[in-house]
Chains A and B, each alone.
Chain A
Amino acid sequence: MVVAGKGGVGSSTVAAAVALAAARDGADVLFISVDGRPGMGPLLGGREINDREQTLQRLDGGGKIRARTIPADQAFGDYLELKGVGGLLRRAASAASLPMIAAATPGLEHLLVLGKVKELEKDGRADLIVVDAPPAGHAAPFLRSASGLSDVVKSGPVLDQAREVSEMLADPQRCAALLVALPEETPITEVIELANDLGDDLGIALLPLVVNACWPDRTGLAKTPAMAARSHKLKLTDTAKTALESAAAFGRSRLEQQREQLDRLADERSEHVITLPRLATPRIDGDDLVELADALVEQGATKTPDADSEGADR
């Protein structure tokens, strides 16, 4: 499963919550952080993630979460070894160093990383592989690298690799994408574009769309504090009215914007939409992650569009 979203929408956190939800359910989960952003290992109950696979957390019920990053140069070495490329070529490759080869074959670094994911998937080394895709503008080029390379490279193992990666991405039994947004205008517009791009153009199966950090709908805010107090048979002091209204004014406008944007997403895309609660903290910790995992399970985030297959990347 590939989890992707524009920068700042919390897609890494959502990826971690998905990994936790699956592991609690007894699955052996491999969490792959493509760019190795700091903090993800501790969030998942272990040490910082590096290029060596490590177990971050074992859960009651037999599930566990392992994690690693995939640096492009390591993926390159592994790839050569896998292809039975002998010592000479391996030495050649290291002499030339990856940047030079990558300059000659654009998109190669992304492809190598995806190729490594594909190998891990083919080996059946985990029940579920969660790939935390690169952020910002890079998710689409990352996933597009396989089809893009086929335009430049006309023969050789790189082309085969590109084909195999494209096959994996387009096979809903093996791979699906979980796209993440925020309930705000720009992120919703961008997730709609990303869904068109990855789902409709690249043919990647889309899981439900996740809208992260949604404020809980507090219907009482529609009333003024004074009116609200009357239904509790209370009379508020003026200072209490002012204090409560100072929060309520902001809350009403955020809730209104959130409703508008969720409606717009539902109009534009047919996928099921999952809303995750906004947590009242700027710093997500392990308990918060449990809360997000609960919400994901409750709303069926890990079901693929194809009802028979379980999760993705099996």
Chain B
Amino acid sequence: MSAAEQRSEPRVDGSLDDVIRNSELILTCGPGGVGKTTTAAALGVAAARAGRKTVVVTVDPARRLADALGLDGSVEADEPHRVKGVTKRTTDGELWALMLDAEQTFDRLVREQAGSRKQADAVLNNPVYQAISGSLSGAQEYMAVERLHQLHVSGDWDLVIVDTPPSRHAIDLLEAPDRLVGFLSHPVYRTLTVGQRTFAKITDAASSMFLWAVKRLAGPQIVEDTIEFFRSLANIEGGLRRRAKEVSRLLRGDLTSFVVVSSPRAEAVGEAEHLLDAIHEKGFPLGGLVVNLIHPLPIELSDDDVELLADLGDGPLADHLGWHRELTHLAQAERHEIQTLEKLAADATVIELPLLDVDIHDVPGLVDLADRLV
């Protein structure tokens, strides 16, 4: 690497080495479009090369990154697949990748919590369940943390890394288990599932109004299906509730690290700030902050050179000068934006990564990024 290139590298403050060696769970979160999935994959590479058996759970990887992880269209969703080409030395661990399938995770959760196959089937075969398991608001977020829990307790893995779904309100993820409990505690839900045997016997005012409203709005069939669904869910409710609490506890435990990923653009910084605040406030363990996609800061021109190059007129050197000025301005403004984030990260590690010439979409690219992270 030339001296010039070295000079234009952003500052690297620390390393996530400690996080990938000592955590059992890592969650990457942050605004969309900042390289969150790539960061999660690179942390996985780093952990595997540090000797740990690691699985990376992703939600919606860009296609070429998915290919690099061996998650192309031909593999089954929701099953871990070994990532090739990452671990070669005998001291290396293993890297596996898994594409989250919210519906399958939900199905598995229902089966685990049901007392019998019959109870499970009653939920799984309900048309309302089938419609909502993939699309219930917050279901994706909850299933991401639920899958994390499943993998964690399986005992198969030293480290589970979950790349959280893109969400402008990334807080949704942190509160997803609590929201499920809230849903199960809703008074209408309670009346619908407790006691009465038939729709006709439901006399509670709020609940009968609810059913009437759904019927008027969406037709009678969906009302029957909804009641059936809530009833069948009642059998597994205790389990769901316990599980949601366990997951919530796990997210706050010592073995978990949150890694917030952002870019230096103002809107991403705003969202990341919001997220860091929430992480502090709700007592989640912050492992580090990665600021990605930072423009390189060019070497400064000396005052003499600037004077020499004043009043150039048009021409190729004017292009050079204009570009140098613009890139310098942008790179400096970005560094200014990042300062706020650094303050909020407090004692956590901050890693600043340059905007690379090409997107990372192969294993060597991930290995290179892994080296920068640890």
Contacts and interface: CB of A to CB of B under 8 A. Distances in A.
Interface of A: 6-9, 12, 35, 37-39, 85, 88-89, 91-93, 95-97, 99-107, 109, 134-137, 141, 148, 151-159, 184-187, 189-190, 218-223, 225, 227-229, 231-232, 234, 236-237, 239-240, 242-251, 253-254, 257, 280-284
A103 B183 CA distance: 10
Contact of B316 (A6, A227, A257): A227
Contacts of A109: 137
B32 A281 contact: no
A17 to B, nearest CB: 15
Contacts of A220: 315-320
B330 A7 contact: no
B255 interface: no
Contacts of A102: 137
Interface string B282-305: 000000000000011011111011
24 contacts: A8-B32, A39-B270, A97-B186, A99-B137, A103-B183, A134-B168, A135-B166, A136-B167, A153-B219, A154-B222, A157-B217, A187-B33, A189-B64, A219-B316, A220-B317, A228-B316, A228-B317, A232-B318, A240-B308, A243-B299, A243-B301, A248-B323, A280-B333, A281-B330
Interface in B308-343: 308-309, 312-313, 315-324, 326-330, 333-334, 337
Contact of A89 (B189, B212, B222, B264): B212
Interface stretch (B41-49, B89-97, B354-362): B354-362
Interface string B1-33: 001110110000000000000000000000111
B188 A96 contact: yes
What does DSSP make chain B's interface, helix, strand, loop or mixed? helix
A186 B359 contact: yes
A91 B136 contact: no
Contact-residue size bin, chain B (C-beta under 8 Å from the other chain): 35 or more
Given A37-B168, A157-B216, A248-B323, A152 B222 contact: yes
Interface string B168-183: 1100000000000001
A246 B137 contact: no
B299 A92 contact: no
Contacts of A221: 316, 319-320, 323
B127 A152 contact: yes
A244 B309 CA distance: 11
Contact of B330 (A89, A105, A231, A282): A282
